[in-house]
Amino acid sequence: MKSYRTHIMLCAGTGCVSNGSFKVKDALEREIQKHGLQDEVGVVMTGCNGFCAQGPVAVIKPDEIFYQFLSVDDIPHLVEEHFLKGRPVEKLMYIPPSEKAPVPKMGDIGFFGKQRLIALRNRGMIDPEVIDEYIARGGYSALVKALTKMKPRQVIEEIKQSGLRGRGGAGFPTGRKWELVAAAKGDKKYLVCNADEGDPGAFMDRSIIESDPHSILEGMVIGARATGASHGYVYIRHEYPLAHKRLIKAIAQAREYGLLGKDILGEGLDFDISIQQGAGAFVCGEETSLIASLQGDAPEPRVRPPFPAEHGVWGAPTNINNVETWANVPEIINKGAKWFAGIGTETSKGTKVFSVVGKVENTGLVEVPMGITLKEIVFDIGGGIPKGKKFKAVQTGGPSGGCIPASLLDLPIDYEKLAEVGSIMGSGGLIVMDEDTCMVDVARYFLEFLKDESCGKCTACREGIDVMHGILERICQGNGKEGDIEMLQELSEAVKDSSLCALGGTAPNPVLSTIQYFRDEYESHIKEKKCPAGVCKALITYTIDPEACKGCRLCAKNCPQDAITGEAKEPHIIDQDKCIKCGVCFDACKFDAVLVK
C-alpha cells in the first residue's frame, strides 16, 4: 500500500453520501492531481463518522483537523490552502452553537468528548471495503485467539464474565444465550445477526455495518466457535443498500482470506454466512418473527417456549444477536472480560450506541459508557436545544419506549434505571423534544406507527393498540372526554399483559409515560380544549399581534389560502374562516408577531 504524509478521511456513510461525499471525493482527487500532490495526500472513504448532521465531513490525518458541510465548490480552495500552503480553512470548521470561534480539531468538539468507542472502534478510521485496513487495526486477531488458544467453553465463559447483554432491546445476557445453544442437541445449529432495526430515527446497526462490516463477521465466527454453529445469516432490511453492498463485499473478502468457509485458518471450523434481506417489518425485531420471515413465512411471533436456542431456524438450535452485540465480541476476546466489565454500571456493562435525533443541536451517532446521564448526552454531547428553547423530554428505546421528563435528566442510563422510570433501552434510539412538542401528539404518533406495524396475530395487540390510538386521535382533535385518561391506562395494562410478543408488550410505554409525567397536557386537551404546545390543529388559533406586526407582508405572501390581509407597514389580520392552521405564517414572521393560542 502506498504511504502518504497525510490522509483525508472522508465520510462515506449514508448521511454523507446523500449529501454528495462521492462527488466531493472526485473533486478532491482532481485537485490533488492538479497540484501534483498525488504522492503525498491520500483520500480514504470511511464509514459513518457519527456527526451526521454536519456531513459531508472529513478528518485530516495526522493533524486531526475536522471539516464539515463540504461541497464540490469548496475543494479547490481547501486543497490549495490546507495542503499547499499549510493553512487550515476556518470557514469549513465546526463552530459550536452560541460561539463564534471555530474548533479545529475533532477531539476538541463536544460531540466527541464523552464518547468511548468499542462497537464503533474503527469508525472513520478505515475504508470499510478493504479487509487489509481492518486487519491492520487488529481485525481478526480475536478470531485467531479464539481458534488457537481457547476452547469453546472458554470463549463462552469470557463472554459471560464480561457482562455483555444483548444490544437489540431486551438486554438478555449474551453469554447465557450462547451457552444454551452450545448445550442444545442437534446436528445443525445456526447464528443470526439481526440488522433489521425498524425504529423511526434509528440508524445504529446500519452505521456499524457501513463503517466496519468485518467486526460483525469476526464476532459471528467467534460465536460459531463457541456454540458449534455451522452457518450464519445476516438479516438486513432492504432499505439499507449501502450497508448491504459493503456486507456482500466483506463476506467475499473473508472467504478469500480463509476466514469464512471450510476449515477456517486450518483449525477445523466450518462456518459460512449468508445474507437475507427483510422487507422492513418492525415486528421482525422479535426473534420468532424474524425467524419466520427468514424462512419465507409471514413475520408473526409464536408462543415460547420452545425458545430459538432449542427450536429456531429450520427447527434447529439458533442464537440471535443484533449488529452491535456481535461487534463487541472481538474486543472482549482480545482485551478480556475484566476490561469490558470495568466499563459501565453494576448491571449494565460496557458501552451503548445511540442515535441522537430530534430537537437537539448535534444530531448523530454516539457510543457512550453505560451509566452516563441523559443530561450529558443531550447537553454535553448533543449541544443542547436549538434556538434557546427549553428541554421537555427525551424518548429512549424507539416507538415502544417511554418519554422521560426534564426532572429526570440526571438519570444514569442503563437497563434497570430506564425500566424504573417507564422506558426501555431498546436498540438505542434517542429522540429529544423541546417545549414546542405536544406529548399527547407524541403518544398518538407512536401508537399510529405501532398500530400499522402490528402483525395482527393476537387480539390484545391488534385491537388494543387500535382502540388506544383512536382515543388519542379524538383527544388531539378536541373531542376528548372525562374518563379517557383512565381508559388509556386500563387498556395499556391489558395490552401489556396479554400480547404475545414484545411489540404489544411495550407498545403502551409512550402512553403510560406521557400520562405519568405530562398528565396536565392530557387534562388541558380534554377539559380546556387547548393544546399547550400549540401543535394540535383543532385546538389552536393563529392570530397577529397588532403591536408587534411591522406590516412586512411576509406572512401574507407565504399564506397558501390568502387568509391574511393588510396594507404594507400596517398591522395584518388573519381571516379565521380561511385559515387552515398550517403554521406557514408563524414560520415566516421575523418579528414574533404571529401568535398561537
pTM of this prediction? 0.92
Of 543, 518, 521, nearest in space to 530 by CA: 521
Q: How far is CA 378 from CA 342, 345, 419, in A?
A: 24, 20, 19
Q: How confident is the model at residue 454 (pLDDT cuts 50, 70, 90)?
A: confident
Tell me the domains of the chain and their CATH numbers: 6-109 (3.40.30.10), 131-341 (3.40.50.11540), 351-434 (3.10.20.600), 439-528 (1.20.1440.230), 541-596 (3.30.70.20)
Strand partners, 264: 269
C-alpha cell at 220: 459471528
Poorest-pLDDT segment among 72-76, 79-83, 133-137, 582-586: 582-586
pLDDT the model gives residue 202: 79
Strand positions, DSSP E, 444-566: 542-544, 564-565
- Summarised one tens digit per residue, pLDDT across range 515-570 is 999 999 999 999 999 999 989 989 989 999 999 999 999 999 999 999 999 999 99
C-alpha cell at 432: 429529544
Task: Name the average pLDDT for the chain.
Answer: 94
Strand partners, 364: 356
pLDDT the model gives residue 262: 96
Q: How far apart are CA 165 and CA 576, in angstroms?
A: 56
Q: How far apart are CA 182 and CA 377, in angstroms?
A: 38
pLDDT the model gives residue 400: 86
Amino acid identity of residue 441, one-letter, is D
Q: What backbone phi and psi angles, to 5 degrees, belong to 151?
A: -85, 160
Q: How far apart are CA 465 and CA 144, in angstroms?
A: 49
Amino acid identity of residue 397, one-letter, is G
Between these two residues, 55 and 220, which has the higher pLDDT value? 220
For residue 170, pLDDT beyond 80: no
Q: How far apart are CA 371 and CA 365, in angstroms?
A: 17
- Summarised one tens digit per residue, pLDDT across range 193-238 is 999 887 777 789 999 999 999 999 999 999 999 999 999 999 998 8
Share of the chain above pLDDT 70, in %: 100
Q: What backbone phi and psi angles, to 5 degrees, belong to 81?
A: -70, -50
Full strand arrangement of the beta sheet holding 318-322 = 261-264, 269-278, 231-237, 190-195, 318-322
Q: How far apart are CA 549 and CA 566, in angstroms?
A: 10
DSSP symbol at 344: B
pLDDT the model gives residue 572: 95
For residue 1, pLDDT beyond 70: no
Strands 231-237 and 58-61: unpaired
Q: How far apart are CA 566 and CA 564, in angstroms?
A: 7
139: CB partners within 8 A, 6+ apart: 122, 131, 214, 215, 218, 330
C-alpha cell at 437: 412538542
Average pLDDT over residues 176-202: 91
pLDDT the model gives residue 584: 93
Q: Residue 528: exposed, middle, or buried by beta-carbon count in 10 A (0-12, 13-18, 19+)?
A: exposed
- Summarised one tens digit per residue, pLDDT across range 108-127 is 999 999 999 999 999 999 99
- Summarised one tens digit per residue, pLDDT across range 358-399 is 999 999 999 999 999 999 999 999 999 998 999 999 999 888
For residue 351, pLDDT beyond 90: yes
Please say whether the beta carbons of 394 and 402 come within 8 A.
Answer: no
pLDDT the model gives residue 201: 74
Poorest-pLDDT segment among 6-20, 125-139, 258-272, 289-303: 289-303
For residue 280, pLDDT beyond 80: no
